[in-house]
C-alpha cells in the first residue's frame, strides 16, 4: 500500500505493524543506494512503514507490490503552486493517487514563506482526491515541527499554539478532525540538549532512573519526548480537537558533527525509545495508545545542507552505504543484535591518500582544506566531532580523501 505525501501528508490506511514503528528514507546523497537494495533491506529488518520526502518514480516502483506502507511527500517548493492552481492538485492526484503536503512549512526559520499556502494546498489536494473517488481512502495532512506550539513554563498544560499561526492551527486541526486524519509532528529531544546549555542531559533519554523527572502539577514526566507529545495533546484540547490521533513523523539522534552527536548517545536513545514502545509505556495524557513513530533517518545523507548545523548529514541509523552503525533491536527487547545491512553494495577500490608534510608549499594548506570541505562532507573533523583533534595535516588527508 502506498501513501503519497504532498508535504501536507497524505496517508493511506496501514496494516497493524509491531511497535507502530516506521522510518524516514531520505535520498540527499552523492551515492544513494539502489532503491531495490533498500527495499530488500527494509523487508529483511521487518520495517513495514516508510516515509518519503518526494515522489521519485524509481523509488515508488521499487515499493510497489510490497507490504510496506508508504507516506510520500510533496516538497514545500510546490505548496504555492498547489495552493492557487487547482489544476496542479489534479495533476498530482492523477499521477500519484495520493499525497502529503510539505514538511514543517511553519518553521520560524522560514519567516512565513509557506504560511499562506500550506493549508489551501491541503484543501486543493483533498478536493482532487475526492473528485477522483479516493478521498475516503487517502488522507491529507502535513508534518509540523514542535515549534508550532509553545509553553512558557515548560509545563504541557500551559501550552498555546504559536501566536502568529494560532488561528491557522485551529483551522488545520478542525480540517484534520473532519477528515479523520492524524496530526503529524516532528520531535527531536537532541535539539533540546543541543540548543539549551542548561538542559538536563538525562531528560533527553529514557533510562535516567527518574533522576530528571519533570512535575506538571502532579503529572510526572520522565523524558522530554513524552512531555512534548503531551504538550501537543494539551494544545489539541485548546483547539477543541482533544481526540485527534498523533503520529510522530520524525524522531532520532545524529551520530557525528557535535559533542552530543555520537554513536553511543544515538544507541542509548534508540534503545530507550524502542523499549518504551514495546512496553506500551504511554504518556499521561494519552494512556490508551502510543502514536506511530517514524525514526529519522534510515541513512546518512552527505549532500544535505549543513546550514546552520554540521550534524545534519549524520542522522542515519545506517551509514551512507547501508551498513549498521551500532547494535539496534527493533523489537524493543534490548537484545545486542544488529540490523541487516544492505547486500551486494558496490564499492570503489579501497585506497587512502596521505598529506605529504615535506612538500615545500604548506602556506595555504588551511585554505585548501576549507575549499575541499566546501565541496564534500567534512563533518567528522569539525570541532566536537569524532575526528576533531587530529591536527591540520591529518584533516587535510581526511578532507581530500572525502573530496
The H or E element containing residue 208 is none
Is 312 catalytic? The answer is no
Asked if 98 and 138 count as a contact pair (C-beta separation under 8 A), the reply is: yes
Residue ranges in the chain whose pLDDT is less than 50: 1-10, 12-18, 98
Q: What is the pLDDT of residues 74-87, one digit of tens each?
A: 899 999 999 999 99
How many CA atoms are closer than 13 Å to the CA of 257, on its beta-carbon side?
A: 23
**Rounded to an integer, what distance in angstroms lies between the CA atom of residue 190 and that of residue 48?**
25
Q: What is the pLDDT of residue 374?
A: 74
Q: What is the pLDDT of residues 326-380, one digit of tens each?
A: 999 999 888 888 999 999 888 877 777 777 777 767 777 778 777 877 777 877 8
Phi, psi of 393 (to 5 degrees): -65, -40
Q: What is the pLDDT of residue 97?
A: 52
Asked if 119 and 176 count as a contact pair (C-beta separation under 8 A), the reply is: no
**Rounded to an integer, what distance in angstroms lies between the CA atom of residue 384 and that of residue 194?**
12
Is 250 catalytic? The answer is yes
Catalytic residue among 104, 174, 301, 370: 104
Q: How many CB atoms lie within 10 A of CB 282?
A: 17
**Rounded to an integer, what distance in angstroms lies between the CA atom of residue 170 and that of residue 318?**
38
Catalytic residue among 131, 178, 202, 250: 250
Q: What is the pLDDT of residue 136?
A: 84
Q: What is the pLDDT of residue 189?
A: 97
Q: What is the pLDDT of residue 395?
A: 76
Report DSSP letters for 160-194, one per residue: EE-GGGHHHHHHHHHHHHHTT--EEEE--HHHHHH
Asked if 106 and 116 count as a contact pair (C-beta separation under 8 A), the reply is: no
What nine digits make up the cell of 169?
492551527
Q: What is the pLDDT of residue 248?
A: 96
Q: Is 324 exposed, middle or buried (0-12, 13-18, 19+ CB in 10 A)?
A: middle
DSSP 31: S
How many CA atoms are closer than 13 Å to the CA of 163, on its beta-carbon side?
A: 1
**Rounded to an integer, what distance in angstroms lies between the CA atom of residue 204 and that of residue 222?**
9
Q: What is the pLDDT of residue 141?
A: 92
Amino acid at each position: 500500500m502506498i501513501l503519497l505525501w504532498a508535504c501536507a501528508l497524505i496517508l493511506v490506511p496501514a496494516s497493524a505493524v509491531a511497535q507502530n514503528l516506521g522510518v524516514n528514507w531520505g535520498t540527499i546523497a552523492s551515492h544513494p543506494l539502489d532503491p531495490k537494495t533498500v527495499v530488500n533491506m527494509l523487508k529483511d529488518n521487518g520495517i513495514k512503514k516508510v516515509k518519503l520526502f518526494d515522489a521519485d518514480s524509481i523509488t515508488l516502483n521499487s515499493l510497489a507490490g510490497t507490504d510496506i506502507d508508504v507516506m510520500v511527500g510533496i516538497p514545500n517548493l510546490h505548496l504555492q503552486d498547489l495552493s492557487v492552481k487547482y489544476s496542479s492538485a489534479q495533476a498530482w492526484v492523477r499521477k500519484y493517487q495520493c499525497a502529503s503536503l510539505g514538511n514543517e512549512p511553519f518553521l520560524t526559520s522560514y519567516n512565513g514563506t509557506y504560511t499562506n499556502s500550506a493549508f489551501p494546498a491541503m484543501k486543493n489536494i483533498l478536493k482532487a482526491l475526492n473528485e477522483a473517488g479516493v478521498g475516503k481512502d487517502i488522507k491529507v495532512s502535513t508534518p509540523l515541527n514542535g515549534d508550532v506550539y509553545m509553553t512558557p513554563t515548560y509545563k504541557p498544560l500551559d501550552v498555546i499554539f504559536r501566536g502568529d499561526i494560532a488561528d491557522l492551527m485551529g483551522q488545520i486541526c478542525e480540517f484534520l478532525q473532519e477528515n479523520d486524519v492524524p496530526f503529524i509532528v516532528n520531535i527531536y529531544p537532541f535539539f533540546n540538549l543541543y540548543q539549551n546549555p542548561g538542559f538536563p542531559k538525562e531528560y533527553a533519554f529514557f533510562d535516567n532512573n527518574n533522576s530528571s523527572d519533570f512535575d506538571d502539577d502532579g503529572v510526572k514526566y520522565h523524558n522530554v519526548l513524552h512531555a512534548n507529545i503531551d504538550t501537543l495533546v494539551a494544545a489539541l484540547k485548546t483547539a477543541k480537537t482533544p481526540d485527534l490521533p498523533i503520529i510522530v513523523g520524525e524522531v532520532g539522534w545524529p551520530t557525528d558533527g557535535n559533542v552530543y552527536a555520537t554513536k553511543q548517545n544515538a544507541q542509548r536513545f534508540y534503545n530507550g525509545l524502542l523499549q518504551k514502545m514495546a512496553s506500551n509505556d504511554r504518556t499521561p495524557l494519552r494512556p490508551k495508545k502510543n502514536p506511530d513513530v517514524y525514526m529519522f533517518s534510515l541513512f546518512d545523507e552527505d549532500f544535505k545542507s549543513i546550514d546552520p548545523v554540521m550534524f545534519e548529514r549524520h542522522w542515519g541509523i545506517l551509514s551512507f552505504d547501508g551498513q549498521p552503525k551500532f547494535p539496534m533491536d527493533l523489537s524493543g527487547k534490548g537484545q545486542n543484535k544488529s540490523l541487516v545491512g544492505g547486500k551486494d553494495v558496490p564499492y570503489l577500490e579501497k585506497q587512502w591518500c596521505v598529506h605529504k608534510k615535506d612538500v615545500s608549499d604548506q602556506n595555504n594548506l588551511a585554505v585548501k582544506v576549507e575549499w575541499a570541505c566546501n565541496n564534500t562532507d567534512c563533518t567528522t573533523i569539525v570541532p566536537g566531532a569524532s575526528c576533531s583533534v587530529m591536527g591540520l595535516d591529518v584533516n587535510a588527508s581526511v578532507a581530500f580523501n572525502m573530496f
